[in-house]
Amino acid sequence: MHPIDPPPASDRAHLDRWHAGDKASGRELFRRHYDGISRFFRNKVKERDYEDLVQATFLGCLANVSSFRGKSSFRTYLFGIAQNKLSNYYRTLASKHQGTIINLGSCSAVDLGIGPSRMIARRQEERLLLAALCRLPLQQQLVVELFYWEEMKAREIAEILEEPEPTIRRRLQRAREQLRRQLETSNAAPEIVESTISNFDQWKYRLKRRLPRPSSSETRRESKARRTDE
């Protein structure tokens, strides 16, 4: 009989081991969750700040390990830290613009001068959808991406954003409606707009797979994992 491989260690087990000094466990958590945290930041911050925020999120989960009590998944806990880093980022960004208040309920990434350039959209439908996403209010963009790209339930998104679940459901509905209006009022050819709307699931799945600088993603992961170990 062939020996049966033991099941892979849980995220919580790796987090505890990392906290105890096991750097390999830290690299494993990074490997498992890098793509999701990468997607979380890539259309919402400026290019020069993107890598630092990803790393800060992973280091933040280690620094605040005592706050993770296992009531939710490690993934939800990690995205909650990412959300806090993003909120702090916007506060810093506002302070650099003479104290301007950034209202996430009405302000979009485009309003902040942040475009979708770091994602490679190969089809016109993908580019149209990505541009529409970046014109949604940031609160709506967050909910849409967490729901569709990360396939999270409204309950999980509510935990991450620290808001009631009914609020998240209403925001998701408004975001869908506004996203459709964005597409319908674009300058794209009517057949492209219709293709984007009617095949939304197909295009959002393809966009999910577009990582920044795909040709160097593995090299960047290894580099960041080493930095996390330091």
Start-end of H helices in the chain: 11-19, 23-42, 47-63, 74-95, 124-133, 138-148, 154-161, 165-184, 190-198, 200-208, 217-229
Contact 132, 183 (CB under 8 A): yes
pLDDT in tens, 210-221: 654 433 444 344
Indicate whether 158 pLDDT > 90.
yes
The pLDDT value recorded for residue 112 is 82
Structure tokens of 6? 């033991």
The pLDDT value recorded for residue 176 is 87
CA 208 to CA 187: how far, in whole Å? 24
pLDDT in tens, 161-191: 999 999 999 999 999 888 888 888 888 788 8
State the pLDDT confidence band at 134, using cuts at 50, 70 and 90. confident
* More confident call, 216 vs 155: 155
Q: What percent of the chain is modeled with pLDDT above 90?
A: 36
Average pLDDT over residues 26-46: 91
Structure tokens of 20? 């105890």
pLDDT in tens, 140-153: 999 999 998 899 99
